[in-house]
Structure 1
Amino acid sequence: MAFVQYATNILTFLVCVLGTEAELPDHALIPAIRPNFTQLAEQVGLPCEEVQVTTEDGYILDMFHIPGNKSHPVLLQSGNFGSSDDYMIRGNTSLPYVLWEAGYDVWVGNVRGCRYGRRHVSFDPDLDDEFWDFSFHEFAVYDTSAMIDYILNRTEAKTLSSIGWSYGTAVNYILGAEKPEYNDLIDCIISLAPIAYLHHSIPFEALIPVAPLGFDAVILTDKNEIMGENSTEIALLRDSCSTPIVAHETCLKAMDVTFGFNPEQIEVEFAPKIFQHYPSSTSRKNLMHEFQTLTTKRFAQYDYGPEENKIIYGSEEPKEYDLSKNKINIFLISGKNDQASKLGDVALLKPKLPNVVEHIILKPEKFCHLDFVCGKDTHKNLYKPIILPILKKYNNNIKQKAKKPKSKKLI
């Protein structure tokens, strides 16, 4: 059975990379009405402002602002194949809601290539290959740094707190290593399901034997955008997972090997909402960078091959990220049933980061990767008892309890 699960996971991955020629039912070709972040926030009565951040290299990113105490901004970053929507789909028990209710100035970020990051001052994502020339390295050194600059300039605060989930944690570590001047601008980092090293993660171990095939699949496809918003594979996924029982019993269970699955935290009727928003698009290069992290067991910059590496890095191998340059107070938070961020990999990461204040392992035995943003009780198990007290240590004079918003009818 385990082998069948692994094989299914691998084949699913390859289908996603190569696309599919399967015919879709006519209704699947009609884009579903899918609320954006602002609409998700308005459904539960949250004020929301959409701002545009232009990076040093010309990408235009949407960032969402839920206004609170300007002296205490908090930036939220999602993971690979994710977007700001991931944080908001739980409505009035979501992390942005809990933070806003506690008085924080909440900013929810996005990275290039996702639903909210498909614009550039010069390149068209549908026409120009140059648009897709990025990986998670650029998420850190360009996207995250630009968002931090924008937030601090706008609020006139001296520092902010940063919360990342999944690969949204990795970008913080890379930023501290590549642009250590940002260490002085972040008072603390809260890493939900930390990801850097991939030595123990079950889904990635399963891919190792077929990694060359995976590389070939990524290289040979002419698609620079993976999981594109208008792609056949996304239309098929959203259509297949649009009914509650199928989304819960088939789609989420298929992700069990990859993320872990906790049916106690994802109600049957809620399951389709996840697939309305996840996954979002990214680049082929980003996926290849993940493959490199898997096969080399190094947390390093992108590998262009020995000759090009010599030109770019001055050595045949890309340099590993020097995580010792991270001087920010970091809190690592793990789930016992998280199959993407395994405890063994977090144990490898922890000693490389010099300022880990605490590694918190959540008590629920089945707490998995998706539960960090999708779990129905995560506000009770994590957000309120753990995240709010951590933030308060660095924001002692925060005024608690914002005025309770009026909810709007769900669309």
Structure 2
Amino acid sequence: MLFNYSSIAIIILSQIIQTLTLLEDAKLFFTDLSSKYGHPAEKYDVTTEDGYILTLYRLPGKSKLPVLLMHGLFSTADSWILRGNTSLPITLANSGYDVWIGNCRGNTYSRKHIHISPNSRKFWNFTFHELAIYDLRAVIDKVLKETGAKKLNAIGHSLGNTIFYVLGSTVPEYNEKLNLLIALSPICYLHNVPSPVKNILDLAPFFKELRKQNYVDKVFGPGLIKQLLEKICANPVYGYIICVETLLFPLTGFNREELGPDFLPILISHFPSSSSLKNLLHLAQVYNRRKFAKYDYGFSKNFLLYNSTKPPLYDLGKVKMRIALISAKNDRLSTLKDVEILRGRLTNIVSDLVMPLDKFNHVDYIWGERTNLYLHPYILSELKMYS
């Protein structure tokens, strides 16, 4: 048998370069990553009506309609770009789109306020409701002002879709500012989530008491727990088994083919980021009450805030923006049964795709190694069709 030593050398060299790239990317953050992959980002500060200062990034392009990307729970703008050349922002920028990537309050890039310190309990007094009616509104207005466009296209992942439903139902005039929302893992209802997701949501009373008695207001903020998690996950022997196969996959769906051990060093340096415990509690209420509604403060405060003893439902019939739903069989956070409930409530669904890959899970939309091959072409097609 003859060995092609030059081919073997090329393969080994390619693997070494890939490993070095991943190790370097673990130390880089959004502006450095975007520059490395050919699209230096512009940075904007966006101040919300209630005083939070958010970081918004732009990869400039020539498209008539800008495209806004909004991240999910415990994520940042980084989550979109961690796959480098094959990430969605770079794919869109390479195709000529004017790409904007938002950051919601409380995460690594948006931990500022004009008056309140992030060390204050008051800073963390928010849920996805505030992310919608303050953060998303301010970001949309900033993008439209800077570009001069009348409308924009949007792509959300996970909770990054939920805030569009809340905004469209609560401030209906913003439906007119959205040309198309491409909803990746369109979380809204949580009726059918499996264990261990449901077990975590069942702990809502414990989380509420923890927040009340021990003044715990944020999750995954800078500190001991975050440092310990990074140390454990960085271990080359057991890090992947503990952090991905034991902790992440049971929540999101198992798919080692798309998120292997080599990607873990870059992932753990950027995820998870911080959010409020109250945000998690609000999601638990959606699960426990089986209603997509505003935050439940209890009998007395509900009456003061809502003029009702129960929090009002978000009226999804008012969400008039065009929406393309993209879901997956192996997504344990946005299950097909829950997407079916959402589908029955929305009034302007223009496209509805279930990913044809059986193992495709909740995080493959943004971190899948080959997502650029089987998801990005569909996204580009939808943007072209409706723009």
Counterpart residue number, 1:237: 229
Amino acid at match of 1:267: G
SS at match of 2:243: helix
Counterpart residue number, 1:381: 374
Q: Is the 8 A contact 1:244 1:270 kept in 2?
A: no
Q: In 2, distance between residues paired with 1:248 and 1:132?
A: 31
Shift of 1:208: 5.4
Q: In 2, distance between residues paired with 1:47 and 1:144?
A: 23
Q: Kindly report which structure 2 residues correspond to 1:283-298, keeping only aligned pairs within 5 A, or say none.
A: 283-298=276-291
Q: In 2, distance between residues paired with 1:87 and 1:125?
A: 25
Amino acid at match of 2:216: K
Where does structure 2 lack aligned partners over 5 or more consecutive residues?
A: 1-24
Report Cα offsets for 1:24-63 as digits up to 9, x if no partner: xxxxxxxx97422111112212221111111111110001
Counterpart residue number, 1:190: 182
SS at match of 1:149: helix
Q: In 2, distance between residues paired with 1:50 and 1:193?
A: 27
2:308 maps to which of 315, 323, 326:
315
Which TM-score applies when normalising by structure 1?
A: 0.85
Q: In 2, distance between residues paired with 1:49 and 1:246?
A: 38
Q: In 1, distance between residues paired with 2:202 and 2:58?
A: 44
Counterpart residue number, 1:225: 218
SS at match of 2:383: helix
Q: In 2, distance between residues paired with 1:224 and 1:150?
A: 29
1:178 aligns with 2:170: yes
Which deviates more from structure 2 when the two are superposed, residues 313-322 or residues 262-271? 262-271
Q: In 2, distance between residues paired with 1:244 and 1:97?
A: 29
Report Cα offsets for 1:44-97 as digits up to 9, x if no partner: 122211111111111100011000015220000000111101001000000000
Q: Kindly report which structure 2 residues correspond to 1:2-401, keeping only aligned pairs within 5 A, or say none.
A: 34-69=27-62, 71-126=64-119, 128-202=120-194, 203-207=196-200, 209-228=202-221, 230-254=222-246, 255-384=248-377, 386-395=378-387
Q: In 2, distance between residues paired with 1:390 and 1:262?
A: 26
Q: In 1, distance between residues paired with 2:364 and 2:202?
A: 29
Counterpart residue number, 2:18: none
Please tell me the root mean square deviation across aligned C-alpha atoms, in Å: 1.5
Q: Is the 8 A contact 2:54 2:103 kept in 1?
A: yes
SS at match of 1:69: coil
Q: Is the 8 A contact 2:220 2:272 kept in 1?
A: yes
Q: Is the 8 A contact 1:70 1:155 kept in 2?
A: no
Report Cα offsets for 1:300-354 as digits up to 9, x if no partner: 1111111111110010011010010011110110111111110011011111110
Amino acid at match of 1:173: Y
Shift of 1:249: 2.4
Q: Is the 8 A contact 1:306 1:316 kept in 2?
A: yes
Which TM-score applies when normalising by structure 2?
A: 0.90
SS at match of 1:277: coil
SS at match of 1:116: coil
Shift of 1:136: 0.6
SS at match of 2:67: strand
Which deviates more from structure 2 when the two are superposed, residues 242-251 or residues 272-281? 242-251
Report Cα offsets for 1:378-409 as digits up to 9, x if no partner: 0111012x1000000122xxxxxxxxxxxxxx
Q: In 2, distance between residues paired with 1:373 and 1:33?
A: 16
Q: In 1, distance between residues paired with 2:239 and 2:153?
A: 35
SS at match of 1:122: coil
SS at match of 1:269: helix
